[in-house]
């Protein structure tokens, strides 16, 4: 599989990573190399093989749906780059 | 008397119990060692004050007869474990300034048992790498690099991603260190630095509070200088944690008690598919030697087949980036770490993530985003998960005819910084022997077993049945004793 610049730009946008135009070409080459490498999986017969969802032989535990802890607003916000009055602040979303 | 920094954990515990030295003396010696090893760039954050106050508290506990199983032992912590009030960076610029408000379960258990924190050590950014060269804070140099510190001809890598942990233990800067292992990140650096590293069974150690890379593969484990020390430290790190939904509710064995040396009659599986192309002759010879050592101890080698081995790396390089692209979506410049402003919210996200993530992390997020995107999900991601099932089945089948599996840890001795760097796929091949074990969720152990012609360390890997770390450690100690490696790194703090 070979990716072109436009596809890489689209993936980068989906991943919300700004990639300078000048780097798209080399990145396309590197990603194509990786995707070519993984294509060997097509040699494996996986008819009727279930895709692995959990490597541990156990079901996910469920917890009680109840409030057991909380009240940590200052701690939760303590690492925010910009906060005000108990909230995170982000650039204006709605005009 | 042996220098305090050259003790094993077991002998340090003895010395503390017999009052030959105090935990404060032990911590002071290690704090000096941390300083003297600075040219190797092992630590991201040194915590000498925490070390001395924790050591003082340890001496007080011991005086009252309340010493825990690791009381007074100075350790390093990979900078992927959240430590309350101590910067945690994952080696990334995007976590610049992040100060956790909570403690990871694994480290909290280490402090519960009396361990002393020397500081947070280097890694590949977000644990994505095999050499500890991609962190925002720079590369770690192995203490095995020939020459005087700072004037090396070749800077040898410590392996990765737990390269700071491995270098700290090999350089006698810490008695042990925590690592994490997603595709070999404990075992490969252990092999590269002549140290012991064990990745326990998936579910043994809580992942709560560890910065996530690929959640279905990540496991924490200890890195030490002996198998006995690994047993001591592993016991403190393991245990059921309701805060991790994949944590397994099983009692934690006394792993040290399993080190009986008796492996008579055990069947040692030798997978023929691990004789890969490009395996160096000296590693092949060491592997054969390892089989002989185990035979001499009464074990029985049996040839086994793991037919899907050659597909493990390809499956890994779909599954791990897919999970990473999802896990790393949280770094958005809103809740913690770096923010780079932009005209809109979307632009702020893109600017922050473009500036905050390094090249390899970006590559993996992009691969992950691509294989999960509409139209490619089945062809890549589901196919990889099906192959993962077949790899697991291979091991299930193999363990019908053997009790433990012996392989090399890595296909070569460690390389120098600057080599193997151009081609990402070439770099991935370092993990060819370790990745299948993560995909199958099994425990794996790397034990130092010799040196290459270049004088650099070589390790052998043992793979066990799920939750049978005891057999793994028991066989590992037999290999360790038979190999009797006496070579030391050129630099020891």
**pLDDT tens-place string over residues A3-48:** 999 999 999 999 999 999 999 999 999 999 999 999 999 999 999 9
pLDDT reported for residue B379: 93
Flag whether B77 is in a domain.
yes
Which residue on chain A is closest to B325 by alpha carbon?
Answer: A15
| pLDDT higher than 90, residue A62 | no
- pLDDT-derived band at A60, boundaries 50, 70, 90: confident
Cβ contact, residue pair B101, A61, below 8 Å: no
Flag whether B247 is in a domain.
yes
Chains A, B: CB pairs < 8 Å:
163
Helix or strand holding residue A88 (H, E): strand A87-88
Cβ contact, residue pair A15, B315, below 8 Å: no
Question: How far apart (Å, rounded) are the C-alpha atoms in residues A34 and B424?
Answer: 8
Q: Which of B336, B369, B382 sits opposite A11 (nearest CB)?
A: B369
CB of A49 within 8 Å of any CB in chain B? yes
Which residue on chain A is closest to B423 by alpha carbon?
Answer: A30
pLDDT in tens, B303-347: 999 999 999 999 999 999 999 999 999 999 999 999 999 999 999
Question: How far apart (Å, rounded) are the C-alpha atoms in residues B313 and B433?
Answer: 9
- pLDDT-derived band at A55, boundaries 50, 70, 90: confident
Cβ atoms within 10 Å, residue B66: 11
Which pairing describes strands B404-408 and B267-271: parallel, antiparallel, or unpaired? parallel
Which of the following is catalytic: B104, B161, B247, B325?
B161
CB of A30 within 8 Å of any CB in chain B? yes
Cβ contact, residue pair A17, B365, below 8 Å: yes
Examine the residue annotation and report whether B185 is marked as an active-site residue of this protein: yes
Interface test with B, best of A1, A13, A16, A70 (most B CBs within 10 A): A16
Split into its structural domains, chain B has a count of 1
Q: Which of B314, B383, B441 sits opposite A55 (nearest CB)?
A: B441
Residues forming beta bridges with residue B17, ordered by sequence position: none
Q: Which of B242, B339, B387 sits opposite A46 (nearest CB)?
A: B387
CB of A93 within 8 Å of any CB in chain B? yes
| pLDDT higher than 50, residue A77 | yes
Question: Which CATH number belongs to the domain containing residue B98 in this structure?
Answer: 3.90.1300.10
From chain B, pick out residues whose CB is under 8 angstroms from the CB of A54: 216, 246
From chain B, pick out residues whose CB is under 8 angstroms from the CB of A19: 354, 362
Q: Which parts of chain B have pLDDT scores under 70? A: 1-2, 420-424
Question: How far apart (Å, rounded) are the C-alpha atoms in residues A41 and A48?
Answer: 16
Name the phi and psi angles at B424, rounded to 5. Answer: -60, -35
Residue with tokens 């299930």: B396
Residue with tokens 């589901």: B382
Please, is B69 exposed, middle or buried when counting C-beta atoms within 10 Å of its C-beta (0-12, 13-18, 19+)?
middle
Flag whether B253 is in a domain.
yes
From chain A, pick out residues whose CB is under 8 angstroms from the CB of B344: 91, 93
Torsion of CA B388, B392, B395, B397, to 10 degrees: -120
Cβ atoms within 10 Å, residue B156: 27
Residue ranges making up the domain that contains B168: 4-266
Tell whether the torsion through CA atoms of B469, B474, B475 and B478 is positive or negative: positive
CB of A88 within 8 Å of any CB in chain B? yes
Interface test with B, best of A13, A32, A52 (most B CBs within 10 A): A52
Instruction: Kindly list the distances between the CA atom of residue B61 and the CA atoms of B105, B205, B229, B339, B354, in Å, as whole numbers in the listed order.
Output: 22, 26, 22, 44, 48
Torsion of CA B169, B170, B172, B173, to 10 degrees: -50
Task: Determine the length of chain B.
Answer: 493
Q: Which of B246, B325, B351 sits opposite A15 (nearest CB)?
A: B325
Q: Which of A18, A34, A40 sits opposite B351 (nearest CB)?
A: A18
Instruction: Kindly list the distances between the CA atom of residue B452 and the CA atoms of B192, B354, B488, B489, in Å, as whole numbers in the listed order.
Output: 11, 41, 13, 13
Residue with tokens 């610029």: B93
Arithmetic mean of pLDDT, A62-66: 88
Question: How far apart (Å, rounded) are the C-alpha atoms in residues B453 and A87?
Answer: 60
Cis peptide before B161, with omega less than 30 degrees from 0? yes
Interface test with B, best of A34, A35, A66 (most B CBs within 10 A): A34
Q: Which of A40, A53, A55 sits opposite B440 (nearest CB)?
A: A55
Which of the following is catalytic: B78, B120, B155, B199?
B78
Flag whether B362 is in a domain.
no
> Hey, is A28 helix, strand or coil?
helix
Cβ atoms within 10 Å, residue B93: 17
Flag whether B14 is in a domain.
yes
pLDDT reported for residue B1: 45
Yes or no: say if B353 and B472 are a contact pair by the CB < 8 Å rule: no
> Hey, is B223 helix, strand or coil?
strand
Cβ atoms within 10 Å, residue A85: 6
Cβ atoms within 10 Å, residue B27: 27
Which pairing describes strands B417-420 and A87-88: parallel, antiparallel, or unpaired? unpaired
pLDDT reported for residue B418: 85
Flag whether B470 is in a domain.
no
Which residue on chain A is closest to B201 by alpha carbon?
Answer: A56
Q: What is the ipTM of this complex?
A: 0.95
HEC letters along B370-413: HHHCCCCHHHHHHHHHHHHHHHHHHHHHHCCCCCEEEEECCCCC
Question: How far apart (Å, rounded) are the C-alpha atoms in residues B238 and B234?
Answer: 6
DSSP assignment of B438-468 equals: HHTT--EEEEEEEE-TTS-EEEEEEEE-TT-
pLDDT reported for residue B286: 97
Flag whether B97 is in a domain.
yes
Flag whether B74 is in a domain.
yes
What percent helix, strand, coil does chain A show, rounded to 5? 40, 5, 55
DSSP assignment of B70-128 equals: TTT-EEEEETTB-BTTB---TT-GGGTT---SS--HHHHHHHHTT-EEEEEE--SGGG-
Instruction: Kindly list the distances between the CA atom of residue B268 and the CA atoms of B383, B398, B480, in Å, as whole numbers in the listed order.
Output: 31, 10, 16
Cβ contact, residue pair B424, A41, below 8 Å: no
């Amino acid at each position: 599989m070979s990716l072109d610049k436009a596809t890489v730009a689209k993936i980068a946008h989906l991943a919300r990573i700004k990639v300078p135009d000048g780097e798209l070409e080399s990145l396309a080459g590197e990603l194509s190399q990786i995707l070519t490498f993984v294509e060997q999986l097509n040699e494996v017969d996986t008819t009727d093989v279930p895709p692995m969802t959990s490597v541990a032989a156990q079901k996910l535990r469920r917890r009680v749906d109840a409030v057991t802890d909380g009240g940590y607003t200052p701690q939760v916000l303590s690492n925010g780059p910009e906060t005000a009055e108990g909230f995170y602040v982000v650039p204006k979303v709605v005009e | 008397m042996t220098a305090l920094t050259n003790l094993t954990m077991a002998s340090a515990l003895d010395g503390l119990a017999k009052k030959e030295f105090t935990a404060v003396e032990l911590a002071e010696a290690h704090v000096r060692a941390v300083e003297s090893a600075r040219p190797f760039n092992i630590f991201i954050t040194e915590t000498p004050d925490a070390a001395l106050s924790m050591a003082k508290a340890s001496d007080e506990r011991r005086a009252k007869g309340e010493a825990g199983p690791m009381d007074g032992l100075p350790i390093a912590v990979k900078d992927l474990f959240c430590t309350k009030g101590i910067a945690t960076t994952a080696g990334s610029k995007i976590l610049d300034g992040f100060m956790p408000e909570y403690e990871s379960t694994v480290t909290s258990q280490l402090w519960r048992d009396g361990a002393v924190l020397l500081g947070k050590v280097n890694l590949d950014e977000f644990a994505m790498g095999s050499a500890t060269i991609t962190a925002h804070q720079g590369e770690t140099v192995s203490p095995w690099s020939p020459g005087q510190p700072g004037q090396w001809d070749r800077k040898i890598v410590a392996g990765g991603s737990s390269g700071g942990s491995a270098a700290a233990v090999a350089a006698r800067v810490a008695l042990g260190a925590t690592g994490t292992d997603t595709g070999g990140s404990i075992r490969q650096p252990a092999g590269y630095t002549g140290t012991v590293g064990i990745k326990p069974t998936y579910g043994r150690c809580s992942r709560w509070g560890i910065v996530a890379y690929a959640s279905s593969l990540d496991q924490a484990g200890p890195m030490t200088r002996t198998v006995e020390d690994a047993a001591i430290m592993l016991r403190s790190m393991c245990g059921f944690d309701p805060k991790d939904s994949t944590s397994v509710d099983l009692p934690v064995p006394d792993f040290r008690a399993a080190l009986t040396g008796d492996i008579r009659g055990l069947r040692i599986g030798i997978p023929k598919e691990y004789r890969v192309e490009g395996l160096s002759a000296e590693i092949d010879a060491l592997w054969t030697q390892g089989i002989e050592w185990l035979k001499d101890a009464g074990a029985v080698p049996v040839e086994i087949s793991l037919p899907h081995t050659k597909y493990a790396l390809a499956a890994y390089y779909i599954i791990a980036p897919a999970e990473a692209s999802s896990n790393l979506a949280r770094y958005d410049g809103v809740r913690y770490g770096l923010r780079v402003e932009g005209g809109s919210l979307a632009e702020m996200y893109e600017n922050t993530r473009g500036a905050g993530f390094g090249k390899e992390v970006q590559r993996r997020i992009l691969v992950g985003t691509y294989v999960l995107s509409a139209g490619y999900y089945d062809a890549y991601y589901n196919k990889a998960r099906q192959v993962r099932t077949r790899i697991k089945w291979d091991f299930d089948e193999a363990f019908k005819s053997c009790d433990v599996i012996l392989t090399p840890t890595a296909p070569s001795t460690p390389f120098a910084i600057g080599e193997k760097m151009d081609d990402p796929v070439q770099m991935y091949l370092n993990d060819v022997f370790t990745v299948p074990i993560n995909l199958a969720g099994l425990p794996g152990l790397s034990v130092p077993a010799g040196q290459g012609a270049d004088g650099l360390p070589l390790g052998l890997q043992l793979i066990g049945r799920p939750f049978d770390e005891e057999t793994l450690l028991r066989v590992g100690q037999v290999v360790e004793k038979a190999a009797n490696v006496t070579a030391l790194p050129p630099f020891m703090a």
